[in-house]
Amino acid sequence: MQQAPTWFKDLFAAIDASDAKRFASYIAPDGVFRFANAPPMHGRAAIEAAVAGFFATIRSSRHQLQRVWRDADSYAVQGTVAYTRLDGRELTVPFVDVFVMRGEQIAEYLIYIDITPLYAP
């Protein structure tokens, strides 16, 4: 596995702390974020609001990174995320995230994951 950039640890810690504001601070003001098959969101404020909305639908999450790839201006990371649902049940699913960078900020953040089981009865 390639070495993950140092900011990955804090980014995923922000997610696992359900801290939408800190999460959004990594994204460029005009950045794009797409979570699973949801429509892309544009702009840091809209992304922060949508992510806060998602955090309200779960009790918690724990990410484990397994592999990281780097290109000239992008990263890809493979891992698993364990969600704790509001009813207390836990679900672990694989994911791949793609980050297109603009300097030190994320210009595009694309999450490939199937969260259908997260909302199943």
Q: How much is the pTM?
A: 0.93
Q: What CATH code is carried by the domain that includes residue 61?
A: 3.10.450.50
Domain coverage including residue 72: 6-119
Q: How many domains does the chain have?
A: 1
Ranges of residues in the chain with a pLDDT under 70 are 1-2
1 within a domain of the structure (yes/no): no
Assigned domain for 92 exists: yes
Q: What is the pLDDT of residue 2?
A: 66
SS3 track for the chain:
CCCCCHHHHHHHHHHHCCCHHHHHCCEEEEEEEEECCCCCEECHHHHHHHHHHHHCCEEEEEEEEEEEEECCCEEEEEEEEEEEECCCCEEEEEEEEEEEEECCEEEEEEEEECCHHHHCC
* Domain membership flag for residue 22: yes
